[in-house]
Structure 1
Amino acid sequence: MSFVTEMADKLAQDTLKAMDELGEDRLYMDVAKVLAAASTTLEEAYLTSIRVRLAERRGRAFLIDFIRAKRAGTAPPQSE
């Protein structure tokens, strides 16, 4: 992992924590705007990390819901 990627990923992790704590689900877009003004390279790496982490969250939530439904004998959620 490159230095830029590592920095971007750490910022993405911190941003997601802040989003969860504050209930600000679009905060990452504001952070990206600040980054874009200073470094498009860092902005791109940051947005990639955010997207991957948000996708992982959605995938994990789906998996948990699917397993719970199957164990309960109810219809599992449908993938979108």
Structure 2
Amino acid sequence: MSDTLVRLASQLADDVVAAMDEMGDERFFTEVAQVISASSQSLEEAFLTEVRIRLTEKQARAFLERRLAEYRAARPTPPRG
């Protein structure tokens, strides 16, 4: 893939994921992908990959934060002295 294609897909994915968060529409990226697919299958594929990476990272980060908070809440506090 060309550097331009990856850069554009990445920038667009950042903007679309931010818009999804603002609008509360977790499927908005599919509408954007349809618009892209009318002109460029390569850009559509790169964009969808970039979106999936971001969404997966958000899920993994939320899981990490939740599990770490559970761990910290469950461990005994060392005595002060």
The residue that corresponds to 2:52 in the other structure is 51
SS at match of 1:48: helix
The residue that corresponds to 1:78 in the other structure is none
The residue that corresponds to 1:5 in the other structure is 6
Residue by residue, what CA displacement relative to the aligned partner does 1:25-62 show, whole Å, maximum 9, x if unpaired? 10000000000001000000000000011110010000
Matched, 1:23 2:3: no
**Superposition deviation, residue 68 in structure 1:** 0.2
Larger Rg: 2
Distance in 2, Cα, partners of 1:24 & 1:47: 16
TM-score by length of 1: 0.89
> Can you give the 5+ residue segments of structure 2 that lack an aligned partner in the other structure?
76-81
Large movers: runs of 4+ above 6 Å: none
The residue that corresponds to 1:42 in the other structure is 43
Number of equivalenced pairs: 74
SS at match of 2:11: helix
**Superposition deviation, residue 16 in structure 1:** 0.4
Distance in 1, Cα, partners of 2:24 & 2:55: 15
Task: Give me the CA root mean square deviation.
Answer: 1.3
Distance in 2, Cα, partners of 1:32 & 1:54: 15
> Can you give the 5+ residue segments of structure 1 that lack an aligned partner in the other structure?
75-80
**Superposition deviation, residue 4 in structure 1:** 0.3
The residue that corresponds to 2:79 in the other structure is none
Residue identity over aligned pairs, in percent, reads: 42
TM-score by length of 2: 0.88
Query: Which amino acid is 1:51 matched to?
Result: R
